[in-house]
Amino acid sequence: MKKLLPALAAALVATACSPQKICSADERLCSDSCVSLQSDPRNCGACGNACGAGQGCSLGVCVDCGANGEGCKADVLAACFNANQVRAFDTSLAAVGAPVTTAAGPASLAALGGAVYVADNTGGAVEQVTSPTATAVASVTGGSFNDLEHLGAYNGLLYVTNWAVGSFVAIDPAGKKVVDEMSLSVGGDAPNPLGFDFANAKAYVALATGAGASPNGLAVVDLSIVPPWGKTKPAVKRIDLSSFAFQGVNPGTVRVLASADGTRVFVTMNDLFDATFQPVPGATGRLVVVDTSTDAVVGGTAVDLGASCLDPSGMALSGTTLWITCGYTAYNATFTAVTGVGGALLPVDVSGVTPVPGTAIPVADHALSSVTICGTRGYAGAADSGTLVSFDPSAHTVTAVSKTACPADPVSGFSAILDVACAL
């Protein structure tokens, strides 16, 4: 969230000052609710025009879903930050069903027990994705502002990183409560936790502590100690990764992904900027691999992802190919406009000990930040806009691009997809 804050803050201020409900460009106000006339089966093509049993709404027309419902099935979900919605799409990137309204600023999605959950970045809430409005599961707040970053599931519980207070939070979705919360701070520093994943009964949490603070890297939490932790919270172990970044940049770790067998975790080093937030000429991103049995960096070095993958962040595995999203968001001097730079999807062969980057697939003018693999399809979301991309992981080709998958906030004009996840 650190690179999106100026634009997102502007959007939130503008929205807060709005005297009446204003719908996104692709929605209409029906009975005081913003609805999509293109995909809402309760308001298909016009307010109040409900489709019949066994039907869905596609492009404003009621259509038969078929005997098994395949004709109306969603394949992927997108967290539309500025629209305060989770939206569903089929393999062609056509919208499916009505958007689900969330508390505020949906940023991360996770599946557990046949349900999908969302962490609301600015709303300070974890919710279950239910139509037409998400159902509250837990409130996770703290500090002078809310900033939930990443949501994940492990052993029947949900976990979320609370950037605002530097903590790792365990949530029981069935009981609808916070089970426990532990600080990731060491020596009173501000750890700024972001993405994480689970492997070898541990959680590996990316830390972006910032220039002049404690080293960036990972916090390792021993989850063999099952929450609630009470007074016996696991010790916070740090893995310093700052030396693996491009020379001269302010090091930053943002995403973590475990291998299928849990023996390794992959970590993207994504910052391209110095301590004053100016781009460092020639800077490229890095990929670090950590052995989960020793918590040591494999090979003692990082993989240079090259000039075709600027600011790598999101990751997803398709067999032995690790897909990484690339690109960063550039703001103008007044933070009233954003531009995606260096957008690409990079395949990396991780079948051997040392990952081998392949040929990047460029996705011009977008800052791709999230990616998921759903069967034979891959999907990526852009943090600089509401653009959703579909790609073929086998053929290494982009198959579709929807530039308006997540609509812009009608007041601020900003839009961002902060996460994508497979529909259940």
Domain assignment of residue 254, given as a range: 136-422
What DSSP designation does 11 have?
H
* Residue 89 placed within a domain: no
CB crowding 62-80: b at 16 or more within 10 Å, else e? eeebeeeeebbbbbbbbbb
Instruction: Domain count for the chain, please give it.
Output: 1
Residue 98 lies in a domain: no
Is it the case that residue 92 has pLDDT exceeding 80?
yes
- In tens, the pLDDT along 305-340 reads 999 998 899 999 999 999 999 998 887 777 666 788
Q: Is 219 among the domain residues?
A: yes
- Name the amino acid, one letter, at 312: P
Task: Name the phi and psi angles at 71, rounded to 5.
Answer: -70, -10
pLDDT score for 276: 75
* Residue 247's CATH number: 2.130.10.10
pTM check: above 0.95: no
H helices of 175-266, where?
none
- In a domain? residue 340: yes
**Residue 233 resides in a domain:** yes
**Cβ atoms within 10 Å, residue 351:** 10
Structure tokens at 1: 């969230």
pLDDT in tens, 20-56: 677 777 788 888 888 888 888 889 999 999 988 888 8
Residue 57 belongs to some domain of the structure: no
Given a cut of 70, whether residue 15 has pLDDT beyond it is no
**For 232-289, what is each residue's pLDDT tens digit?**
888 889 999 988 888 888 778 999 999 999 999 999 987 788 777 778 888 888 999 9
Rounded to whole angstroms, the Cα distance separating 128 from 122 reads 16
Angle (CA) 221-224-225 rounded to 5° is 80
Triad 75, 387, 54: Cα angle to 5°:
30
Token pair listed for 304: 């240079």
Listed range (160-164, 166-170, 314-318, 407-411) with the worst mean pLDDT:
407-411
**CA–CA distance, 83 with 102 (Å, rounded to integer):** 9
Closest CA relative to residue 328, chosen from 377, 283, 261: 283
Residues 124, 131: contact at Cβ < 8 Å? no
- Is residue 22 in a domain? no
CB atoms within 10 A of CB 55: 17
Domain assignment present for residue 73? The answer is: no
